[in-house]
Chain A
Amino acid sequence: MKNNNIEEIICISCPKGCRIKVESVNNEIKNISDYNCEKGKRYAREEFKNPTRILPTTVKVKEGEFPLVSVKTEKGIPKDKLLKAMDVIAEIEVKAPVEIGDLILKDILNTGVDLVATRNVEKID
């Protein structure tokens, strides 16, 4: 049986926030409408096929000047893996000193994307 679907995607390319319609059959795009520029059309296609987000959060630090260090996924990871990624990240504890760009976790949830530090945390004695 065919699975027809119309999904509304709010474009974030500019402050207009166009509500773009993506029509699909069995997850294959058949038509994109209600966009106002090519950038919007491209965004809607990408967002329909593979929505990804950079995940910024924190991990615990031992012996650091602060109890936490901020981290992020270096690139976007699939949207539906964000909450699962948080569970994995909650288990991590690193040791000070930490520097910006330091690898915190390689290849999170087999996404091929690394988790890296976004703040310097010095060691305290």
Chain B
Amino acid sequence: MKSRYQLAVIGGGPAGMAAALKAREKGIEDIIVLERDKYLGGILPQCIHNGFGLEYFDKELTGPEYAAKFISDLKESEIEVQDETMVIEINDKKEITALSESKGIIKIKAEAVFLAMGCRERTRENIKIPGDRLAGVLTAGTAQRYTNIEGFVPGKKVVILGSGDIGLIMARRMKLEGAEVKAVLELLPYSKGLIRNQVQCLHDYDIPLKLNHTITRIEGKDRVKRVKVAEVDDNSEVIPGSEQWLSCDTVLLSVGLIPENELTKSIGIELNPVTGGAEVNEMRETEVPGVFAGGNVLHVHDLVDWVTEEAEIAAFGIVNYLKNERIKRENSLNLKAGDNLNYVIPNKIEYKDVNRDYIKMFMRVKEPMEDIEIHFINNEKSILKYNKDFALPGEMLTLNLPEQIIDKDMKNIKISLKKQDKEDLYEK
């Protein structure tokens, strides 16, 4: 191991692996990947279910299979990988301090850094469920790791809070491993999980999904014995008198993901309160030149395929940065989320066209919506329109902004959703 690298990749999950490989393919020789776990692949090896790769590989794979392609390419590329190495600090000079199982304290200086630390799950403490502190309360992802990697099934009578995809997938997994899954509870009036998972993880096994329900108390002695389940109204307030006890020995929480940005903060980069990640330009470069971010550390994705694609966009930016091949625009073009959009990535366009036909944009809607028009608005004028049958908060929207419509003087583009004009429809 050396003390200086052209590119240091922080995290060997799908984002880190894809970026390292793409940067190497484009001629960057001097790369190191720092991974805190014993193996590469991030969360993928524990996601043993199928449904990955439909966008990127055009075939249906399981998580470990999706990861394996990148893991074996990395091995072949002879890109340096330091596993069991936890980065504890990065400063604004791109000096990295890490703790390695085999080498002790490591200090590295990199010309460019790619932040690919992924995200972590919200815990009981994050959502503050009152009651006793007990064994048997864990996040769905932790239960998934125990069950699929370590070989322990963490309980026999399970209640799951949260009906996102991880919650649904774990409901089926626990059932298949012989546990009784008493219910999946969802605070909202709808599940954020894919329809396919609602059908194949819950309906297939007659596991009840209780919408507008939550846990208000966890009780037991040493181990969970029962939870208090309550119905909530449209404002997520508990309806008095609706509470009932449900006996169980395990509570799995699938209540949201948080981009893991402690290192980003140590560099001095501000986080966006909506995404929980850094703000980036179209190269996925943060406010600190040479520091790039992609994947779940930037914003939480629902498909790994988009993580891979985003990391490759970042790799393209990293290569341009290292080779000093980019040309800055006179002014930066800000991209803003308008009506019914939660956020848009990238946040701004700072460089002139360097062999690109379009800029790929990732965005997430606030509320479910049908028959929509998506408008790119500059100076109150719509300069680009896409039609979509529907958009859901659980499914990221990806749209292309063609290079040819970006004017060199443009300062702002706002992206807004509106209901399709019915008369418009009849005209077609």
Contacts and interface: CB of A to CB of B under 8 A. Distances in A.
Contacts of B199: 10, 12
Contacts of B177: 86
A16, A66, A119, most chain B CB atoms within 10 A: A119
Given A11-B195, A70-B63, A83-B176, 20 more contacts: A10-B203, A12-B195, A12-B196, A12-B199, A15-B392, A16-B195, A16-B389, A56-B49, A56-B50, A66-B149, A68-B149, A68-B150, A68-B151, A70-B62, A86-B177, A86-B178, A100-B64, A118-B62, A119-B64, A119-B68
A11 B395 CA distance: 17
Contacts of A118: 48, 62, 64-65
Given A15-B390, A70-B48, A118-B64, A10 B198 contact: yes
A67 interface: yes
A79 interface: yes
Nearest to A60: B151
Given A82-B176, A100-B68, A10 B148 contact: no
Interface in B257-272: none
Contacts of B151: 58, 60, 67-68
Contact of B195 (A10, A53, A57): A10
B204 A53 contact: yes
Contact of A58 (B48, B68, B178, B198): B48
Contacts of A16: 195, 389-390
Interface residues of B, number: 30
A86 B50 contact: no
28 contacts: A10-B199, A10-B203, A11-B195, A14-B195, A15-B395, A16-B195, A16-B389, A17-B195, A53-B200, A53-B204, A56-B49, A56-B62, A57-B176, A58-B48, A58-B151, A67-B150, A67-B151, A68-B149, A68-B151, A70-B62, A70-B148, A72-B62, A82-B204, A86-B176, A86-B177, A100-B64, A118-B62, A119-B64
Contacts of B389: 16
A53 B51 CA distance: 12
Contacts of A15: 194-195, 390, 392, 395
Interface in B32-91: 45, 48-50, 62-65, 68, 71
Nearest to A58: B148
Nearest to A83: B176
A39 to B, nearest CB: 13
Question: Which applies to chain B's interface (DSSP): helix, strand, loop or mixed?
Answer: helix
A2 B319 CA distance: 70
A93 to B, nearest CB: 12
B23 to A, nearest CB: 24
Contacts of B62: 56, 70, 72, 118
Interface string A1-23: 00000000011101111000000
Contacts of B63: 70
Contacts of B203: 10
Interface in A27-44: none
Nearest to A66: B149
Given A58-B148, A66-B149, A70-B148, A120 B68 contact: yes
A116 B390 CA distance: 37
Contacts of A105: none
A108 interface: no
Interface in B128-158: 147-151
A113 interface: no
Interface in B178-202: 178, 194-196, 198-200
A10 to B, nearest CB: 5
Contacts of B148: 58, 68, 70
A16, A17, A82, A118, most chain B CB atoms within 10 A: A118
Nearest to A68: B151
Interface in A53-75: 53-58, 60, 66-68, 70, 72
Contacts of B71: 120
Contacts of B195: 10-12, 14-17
Contacts of A53: 200, 204
A30 B358 CA distance: 49
A11 to B, nearest CB: 8
9 tightest A-B CB contacts, nearest first: A119-B64, A17-B195, A70-B48, A12-B196, A67-B151, A118-B62, A56-B49, A56-B48, A118-B64
A72 B389 CA distance: 34
Nearest to B195: A17
Contact of A72 (B50, B147, B150): B50
Nearest to B204: A79
Given A10-B195, A15-B195, A70 B50 contact: no
A77 to B, nearest CB: 12
